[in-house]
């Protein structure tokens, strides 16, 4: 949907940016007390990771006229493909860029599920070469409402990936009433959609924050469900990342169901998503790697999380 207030602008409006403006490139809303890594802690850019990184959660920034060029630069440096979550209004520029740079940009349409012509919008996005929908958020009804089913039916027919916001959602305006509520976007709604529409790859953003357990269990029983850990969770959990082993608990047991590449590690149900602007991608990569270390995620599984799983879904080169 068209988001009248970008995340960055939202933070600026609430003073969060101003409070930490003196310490870039640390992300504006990182807690200053946490020992958050700086981008400078990363290995030099020439040390490209061994595999392609695929970022499921990059919002198109209509305020940045150089967005595509900036994205291509980062993509080249990190060997990264971005799923660009594109408002309907910006659909053409991203569709064209994706045709020109198919290994760098996967076009994903960010429609408003409550728009009266949403089905027509989705059909048009398909014609333009879009590969999925998302981030679906700020919905007026729960994700499983009957009125949204025609959209999911189309996504199922197209075999699309659909990224759902899950969990706590930001408040765009503190002074005006707004018809937005997190409960409509709880992680367990993704379960019903994934089961009724088995050709959809259902991706939940933010791992259902704070209902990680529901996200984990829904991912465990549904081969077509994955979650990203973008948002505040990896900051919030910085000092006890090992707790995510309680959420992704079934490694090596008989309780993991149809894991990607038959990987027995439960963390293979995660995918990489940054959701922090282009300048935040490397910082979130560092956070994911801290999670891997804290939870002893094996290298093979790390590769799936950081790109292998999504590369296969979208047919990207290794």
Residues making up the chain, counted from first to last: 318
* Nearest-approach distance from CB 84 to Zn ion, in angstroms: 15
State which residue, 27 or 165, has the beta carbon closest to Zn ion: 165
The only residue of 131, 165, 189, 283 in contact with Zn ion, by rule CB under 5 A: 165
Q: Does 203 engage in binding with Zn ion (CB under 5 A)?
A: no
State which residue, 155 or 185, has the beta carbon closest to Zn ion: 185
State which residue, 53 or 205, has the beta carbon closest to Zn ion: 205
Per the CB < 8 A criterion, the answer to whether 132 and 315 are in contact is no
State which residue, 162 or 295, has the beta carbon closest to Zn ion: 162
* Nearest-approach distance from CB 205 to Zn ion, in angstroms: 4
State which residue, 263 or 275, has the beta carbon closest to Zn ion: 275
Between 294 and 313, how does the x/- string for binding to Zn ion read (CB under 5 A)? --------------------
State which residue, 79 or 182, has the beta carbon closest to Zn ion: 182
Residues in region 216-245 near Zn ion by CB under 5 A: none
State which residue, 110 or 309, has the beta carbon closest to Zn ion: 110
* Nearest-approach distance from CB 195 to Zn ion, in angstroms: 22
Q: Which stretch binds Zn ion (CB under 5 A): 198-206, 247-255, 263-271, 277-285?
A: 198-206
What is the enclosing helix (H) or strand (E) of 58? strand 53-59
Pairs from 86-92 (Cβ < 8 Å, separation ≥ 24): 86/60, 86/110, 86/130, 87/1, 87/2, 87/3, 87/60, 87/62, 88/2, 88/112, 88/115, 88/121, 88/125, 89/2, 89/62, 90/60, 90/62, 91/124, 91/125, 91/128, 91/130, 92/128
* Count of residues touching Zn ion (by CB under 5 A): 2
* Nearest-approach distance from CB 206 to Zn ion, in angstroms: 6
The only residue of 71, 161, 200, 205 in contact with Zn ion, by rule CB under 5 A: 205
DSSP letter at 34?
S
State which residue, 74 or 205, has the beta carbon closest to Zn ion: 205
State which residue, 111 or 295, has the beta carbon closest to Zn ion: 111
Q: Which stretch binds Zn ion (CB under 5 A): 6-14, 16-24, 202-210, 293-301?
A: 202-210
Whole-angstrom CA distances from 16 to 29, 87, 173, 175, 179 are: 6, 25, 14, 17, 24
Peptide bond into 297 cis (omega under 30): no
Q: What is the Cα–Cα distance from 30 to 22, expressed in whole angstroms?
A: 13
Question: What DSSP string describes 66-118?
Answer: THHHHHHHHHHHHTEEEEEEEEGGGHHHHHHHHHH-TTTEEEEEE--TTSTTH
* Nearest-approach distance from CB 185 to Zn ion, in angstroms: 8
Q: Does 59 engage in binding with Zn ion (CB under 5 A)?
A: no
Residue nearest to Zn ion (CB): 165
Q: What is the Cα–Cα distance from 194 to 206, expressed in whole angstroms?
A: 17
Q: Which stretch binds Zn ion (CB under 5 A): 124-132, 150-158, 159-167, 241-249?
A: 159-167
In sequence order, the 6+-apart residues with CB closer than 8 A to the CB of 307 are 51, 52, 53, 54, 80, 81, 272
* Nearest-approach distance from CB 237 to Zn ion, in angstroms: 17
Q: Which residues bind Zn ion (CB under 5 A)?
A: 165, 205
């Amino acid at each position: 949907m068209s988001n009248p207030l970008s995340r960055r602008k939202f933070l600026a409006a609430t003073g969060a940016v101003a409070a930490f403006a003196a310490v870039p490139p640390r992300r504006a809303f990182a807690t200053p007390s946490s020992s958050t890594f700086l981008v400078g802690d990363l290995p030099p850019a020439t040390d490209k990771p061994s595999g392609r990184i695929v970022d499921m959660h990059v919002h198109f920034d209509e305020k940045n006229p150089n967005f595509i060029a900036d994205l291509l630069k980062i993509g080249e440096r990190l060997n990264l493909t971005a799923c660009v979550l594109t408002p309907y209004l910006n659909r053409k520029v991203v569709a064209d860029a994706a045709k020109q740079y198919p290994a760098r940009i996967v076009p994903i349409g960010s429609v408003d599920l409550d728009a009266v012509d949403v089905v027509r919008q989705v059909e048009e996005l398909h014609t333009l070469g879009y590969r999925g929908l998302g981030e679906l958020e700020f919905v007026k009804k729960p994700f499983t409402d009957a009125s949204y089913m025609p959209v999911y039916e189309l996504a199922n027919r197209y075999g699309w990936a659909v990224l759902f916001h899950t969990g706590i959602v930001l408040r765009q305006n503190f002074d005006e009433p707004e018809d937005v509520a997190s409960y409509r976007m709880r992680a367990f709604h993704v379960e019903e959609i994934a089961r009724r529409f088995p050709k959809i790859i259902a991706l939940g953003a933010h791992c259902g924050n704070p209902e990680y357990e529901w996200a984990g269990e829904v991912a465990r029983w549904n081969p077509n469900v994955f979650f990203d850990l973008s948002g505040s969770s990896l900051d919030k959990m910085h000092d006890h990342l090992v707790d995510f082993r309680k959420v992704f608990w079934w490694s090596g047991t008989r309780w993991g169901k149809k894991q990607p590449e038959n990987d027995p590690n439960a963390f293979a149900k995660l995918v990489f998503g940054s959701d922090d602007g282009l300048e935040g991608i490397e910082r979130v990569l560092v956070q994911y790697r801290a999670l891997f270390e804290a939870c002893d995620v094996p290298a093979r599984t790390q590769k799936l999380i950081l790109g292998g799983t999504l590369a296969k879904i979208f047919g990207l080169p290794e």
